[in-house]
Amino acid sequence: MSNIIEIEGLSKRYGDLVALNDLNLTIDQGAVVGFIGPNGAGKTTTMRILTTLLQPSSGTARVAGYDVAQNPDAVRRAIGYMPDFFGVYDDMKVWEYLDFFAACYDIPPATRHGMIDDLLGLVDLGHKKEQYVEGLSRGMKQRLCLARTLTHDPQLLILDEPASGLDPRARIEMRELLRELQNMGKTIFFSSHILSEIADVCTSIAILEAGNLVAHGNIEQIRRQLRANRTIHVRLLGEREPLVNLLQTSPGVVHLQTDDLPADSLRFDFSGDDVALSELIQTAVSHHIPLVSFREEEHDLEDVFLQLTKGVVN
Amino acid sequence: MTNLPLKPTLWHTLRQNPVTLKELRSRMRGRRAFVVLTVYLLFMSLFLALIYLAYLTTSGPGGSGARDAGKIMFTAVLGMQIFLVIFIAPAFTASAISGEKERQTYDLLRTTLLSPSAFVLGKLLSALSYVVLLILASVPLQSISFLLGGLSPEELIISQILILVAAVTFALYGLYCSARMKTTLAAIIAAYGGALFVTFGTPLIAVLITLITGAAFITTGTVGWVTEATLTYLGLTLSATNLPATLVLSETILQQENTLLFYTQSIRGHSVWLFSPWPLFILLYALAAWLLYRACVRHVRRISD
């Protein structure tokens, strides 16, 4: 799979302030990547460099094989950008808004009409085609702006906080839309503060703090990197002593805990892999230990984020 | 045989400019544009009607009084056009780019394939088209002067060319301010500051130079014809930077010397070739317009540091 974004040693300084510090990041074609970080971490700066709006202080960034500084027009053809804050024009109808931006991307007038209908259908705004843009709700404007990013059928969508300021329903709609775009084969690189949404939609994440990349990769891989041991919760019928005795002699059991837990429950950290864990369960069953539940503790993205970041802000 | 795609003509490119189409669609939508045009023409008509009535009550139809009335009516409409060009054209364009920044639509446009020159040209054409509409709408009123006999076709044509050239330059100056400044308020202040300086500052400088050199001549006694001729050329060149001065001086030279371009004048016994300032005005303003256009495009193209 080829890389659609290749960032090497990218830095951005504003006087003494280092907004981005030697960022190295690659994103595969077709991936949905969540860009996470506290406010001021450098997410928007990275996105503005990738969208040819900002000059980096040093380093290179390539989008779809084109250097953002050397070949901005080719990069613009390959990307659809939705900034975190954007305005709309007064006195403009929804279809006129899309028609205007399609014209800005050199789409011939003959093909625009059908394309606008398709895009409005995709973002569920077909019924608002003749309405003025200023009269749309915030969620509808966000969806319209997303439709705008698709007028020239770009390979890569760079979305800065696409769900910010939306109510729960609009956020769910936006998430569904991102899934739809993923199914259409688009690469999506988007930032968000809503970590649960990122975990739902993304194939991988990149975590930025104070201009430094602190983690990048599959969410599950990062979780594993963070935790050498997995935490297992067990509930039994009756006494837990037989299982405690078994676990104390079992390899891979690192830290057994019974304090502050009900009499029929216990928790332990396990350093083994899935095979070792399965063998442990089989051993317990063969010792006639009455297991009711045996489950691994899930660590959500919030835990990962809190573990990786220190709350440092530029 | 293969059909090679035809190279789009300049007119086609301008007609297809998305920024022009969008701006004109927004500007001409609703009643506002038509109300402004109607009120403007009503005001002009009323003003001219008052001048005509004043002429009727003083001298009756025909005779030299009619010529004077025609001249006054022409001057009145021209005065309104000068006001439009100097103060309305830059105001229209001063918000054109800074407004996009304030509305947070500038970045959306800059990530499209719209070239900086198409963007600047689109903004310029849409702002100019309305100003030109106001100017052209007043030409029929101005032409009433023909009926009264106070206006020659040359005067009308040259004055309208000067007004149009000035409109383009002042509009581009407003656009340049808009590209440079972050806010519309700052752009409008800069645009009006520049327009006021060119309109009132240069005559003031001319007066100051006249006073200083006059005082110097009194102190030194005699003045050579070369010095006086040089000062006359300087005065004509300076007046060619100012629209009202160019119009007044070109009209005076046309009336007194009966020429549109060159004439001779005796300075201390020497015959000196002098010129009407309007061609130089067109040259200077066209040059300024080109430089401002290039500067605008450069600013729009620039990627933020």
B174 and B269 co-located in one domain: no
Mean pLDDT of B161-178: 93
Residue B1, in any domain of the structure: no
**Which residues of chain A are at the B interface, by a Cβ-Cβ cutoff of 8 Å?**
48, 51-55, 69, 72-73, 76-77, 79, 81, 83, 85-92, 96, 100-101, 103-106, 109, 145, 148, 152
Q: Which CA distances in Å does A107 have to A126, A150, A152, B54, B114? A: 20, 12, 7, 59, 11
Look up tokens 């399965």; give the residue. Answer: A278
Assess whether B144 and B237 both reside in one domain.
no
B14 min Cα distance to partner chain A (Å): 13
Q: How many CB atoms lie within 10 A of CB B110?
A: 21
Helix (H) or strand (E) holding A63: strand A58-63
Does an H or E element contain A207, and which?
Answer: strand A204-209
Residue-number span of the structural domain to which B274 is assigned = 201-280
Q: Count of CB atoms within 10 A of residue A257's CB?
A: 12
CA-nearest residue of chain A to B113? Answer: A105
The first and second tokens of residue A306, run together, are 């809190």
How far apart are the CA of B132 and the nearest CA of chain A, in angstroms? 22
| Contact between A85 and B109 using a beta-carbon 8 Å cutoff | no
Low-confidence winner among A36-40, A199-203, B185-189, B222-226 (lowest mean pLDDT): B222-226
- Residue B298 and residue B98: Cα distance in Å, rounded? 15
The tokens for A170 are 């609009």
Residue from A5, A1, A61, A2 nearest A188 by CA: A5
Residue of B18, B113, B303 with shortest CB distance to A100: B18
Alpha-carbon span A242 to A234, nearest angstrom: 13
- The alpha carbon of A36 is separated from its chain's Cα centroid by a whole number of angstroms, namely 7
CA atoms within a 13 Å half-sphere pointing along the CA-CB vector of A72: 18
In this structure, the answer to whether residues B248 and B212 fall within a common structural domain is yes
Residue B186: both structure tokens together: 């700052």
State residue B123's pLDDT score. 92
How many Å lie between the alpha carbon of A111 and the closest alpha carbon of chain B?
15
Q: Taking CB atoms and an 8 Å limit, are B108 and A73 in contact across chains?
A: no
Mutate to test the interface with B, among A70, A104, A134, A141 (most CBs of B within 10 A): A104
Residues of chain B in contact with residue A77, where contact means CB-CB under 8 angstroms, are 113
Distance between CA atoms of A200 and B123, rounded to whole angstroms? Answer: 44
pLDDT tens digits for A163-182? 887 888 888 888 888 999 99
pLDDT of residue A211 exceeding 80, the answer is: yes
In a domain, B5, yes or no: no
Kindly state the average pLDDT of the residues B42-66.
Answer: 76
- B252, burial (CB in 10 Å: exposed 0-12, middle 13-18, buried 19+): exposed
Whole-number pLDDT of residue A247: 92
Task: Tally the C-alpha atoms within 13 A of residue B259's C-alpha that lie toward its C-beta.
Answer: 12
ipTM: 0.80
Chain B residues whose beta carbon lies within 8 Å of the beta carbon of residue A148: 108
CA–CA separation, A312 and A10 (whole Å): 20
Instruction: Establish if B3 belongs to a structural domain.
Output: no
- Evaluate if residue B226 carries a pLDDT over 90: no
Task: Convert the pLDDT of each residue in A81-97 to its tens digit.
Answer: 999 888 888 789 999 99
Rounded Cα gap, residues B263 and B243, in angstroms: 21
Range in A20-29, A151-160, B225-234, B250-259 with the lowest mean pLDDT: B225-234
Give pTM, 2 decimals: 0.81
Contact at 8 Å (CB) between B168 and B177? no
Residues of A in contact with B121 (CB under 8 A): none
Of B296, B165, B189, B188, which Cα lies nearest the Cα of B241? B165
Q: Tell me which residue in A55, A90, A106 faces B305 most closely, judged by beta carbons.
A: A55
Q: Which of B25, B109, B111 sits opposite A52 (nearest CB)?
A: B111
Nearest Cα residue to B81 out of B123, B139, B155: B139
Q: Which residues of chain B does A87 touch, with a Cβ-Cβ cutoff of 8 Å?
A: 103-105
The yes-or-no verdict on residue B250 having pLDDT over 50 is yes
How many CB atoms lie under 10 A from the CB of residue A155?
A: 16
Tell me if A269 sits within 8 A of A227, measured CB to CB.
Answer: no
Residues B294 and B237 in one domain: no
> Count of A–B CB contacts within 8 Å?
74
Name every residue whose Cβ is closer than 8 Å to that of residue A242 and which is 6 or more positions away in sequence. Answer: A287, A289
pLDDT digit string (tens) for B74-133? 888 888 888 888 888 888 899 999 999 998 899 999 999 999 999 999 999 988 888 888
How does pLDDT run across B261-304, given as a tens digit for each residue? 888 888 777 888 888 899 999 999 999 999 999 999 999 988 76
- Say if B10 falls within a structural domain: no
- Answer whether residue B5 shows pLDDT above 50: no
- Find all residues with CB under 8 Å of A85, minimum gap 6, and list them: B104
Tens digit of pLDDT for each residue in A244-303? Answer: 999 988 988 988 888 888 888 999 988 888 899 999 999 999 999 999 999 988 777 777
Say yes or no: B29 and B123 in one domain: yes
Q: Does a structural domain hold residue B140?
A: yes
- Distance to chain B for A265, nearest Cα, Å: 57
Q: What is the pLDDT of residue B12?
A: 66
Which residue among A53, A106, A148 sits closest to B110, beta carbon to beta carbon?
A53
Asked whether the beta carbons of residue B21 and residue A55 sit closer than 8 angstroms, the reply is no
Instruction: Provide, rounded to the nearest whole percent, the portion of chain A with pLDDT above 70.
Output: 96
Confidence class for position B2, pLDDT limits 50, 70, 90: very low
Contact between A91 and B25 using a beta-carbon 8 Å cutoff:
yes
Residues B34 and B88 in one domain: yes
Q: In this structure, is residue B112 part of a structural domain? A: yes
Residue among B186, B181, B176, B198 at smallest CA distance from B93: B176
**Closest chain A residue to the Cα of B122, Cα to Cα:** A104
Out of B21, B29, B113, closest to residue A91 by CB: B29
Q: Are A246 and A266 in contact (CB under 8 A)?
A: no
pLDDT of B63 higher than 60: no
Among partner residues B18, B29, B103, which is closest to A104 by beta-carbon distance?
B18
> B4 pLDDT band (50/70/90 cuts)?
very low
Give the residue with greater pLDDT, A53 vs B260: A53
Contacts of A267 (CB under 8 A, 6+ apart): A231, A232, A233, A234, A256, A257, A258, A261
Does the residue B9 lie in any domain? no
In this structure, the answer to whether residues B149 and B45 fall within a common structural domain is yes
A213-231: pLDDT as tens digits: 988 888 877 777 777 678 8
- Nearest by CB: B111 against A79, A96, A106: A79
| Domains contained in chain B, number | 2
User: For residue A265, what are the β-bridge partners?
Assistant: A235
The whole-number pLDDT of residue B60 equals 58
* Domain match, B219 and B79 both: no
Q: B87 and B112 in contact (C-beta within 8 Å)?
A: no
Residue B129 in any domain: the answer is yes
Task: Determine how β-strand A265-270 pairs with β-strand A79-82.
Answer: unpaired
B262-267 vs A187-191, strand pairing mode: unpaired
Q: Looking at the structure, do residues B175 and B229 belong to the same domain, yes or no? A: no
What's the confidence (pLDDT) of residue B1?
A: 41
Nearest Cβ partner of A104 from B25, B114, B304?
Answer: B114
Instruction: Inspect the interface and report whether the beta carbons of A87 and B104 lie closer than 8 Å.
Output: yes
* DSSP label at residue B86: I
**Sign of the CA dihedral running B73, B79, B81, B84:** negative
- Return the pLDDT at B11: 67
CA distance B291 to B289: 6
What six digits make up the tokens of A286?
Answer: 């063969």
* Cβ-defined contact of A152 to B29 (cutoff 8 Å): no
Q: Domains in chain A, please, with CATH?
A: 3-224 (3.40.50.300), 229-298 (3.30.70.920)
Q: Which residues lie across from A206 on neighbouring strands?
A: A35, A216
C-alpha–C-alpha distance, residues B283 and B128, integer Å? 20
Same domain as B241, residue B160? no
Q: What is the pLDDT of residues A151-165, one digit of tens each?
A: 999 999 999 988 887
Chain A positions touching B21 (Cβ under 8 A) are: 100, 103
Backbone angles phi, psi at B193, to 5 degrees: -60, -45
Cα(A255)–Cα(A248) distance, rounded to whole angstroms? 9
The 10s digit of each residue's pLDDT in A269-280 is: 888 888 999 999
User: Chain-wide mean pLDDT for chain A?
Assistant: 88
User: Which residue from A298, A122, A156, A146 is spatially nearest to A227, judged by alpha carbons?
Assistant: A298
Separation of alpha carbons A179 and B259, rounded Å:
76
Check pLDDT > 70 for residue A186: yes
CA A171-A174-A179 angle, to 5 degrees, is: 130
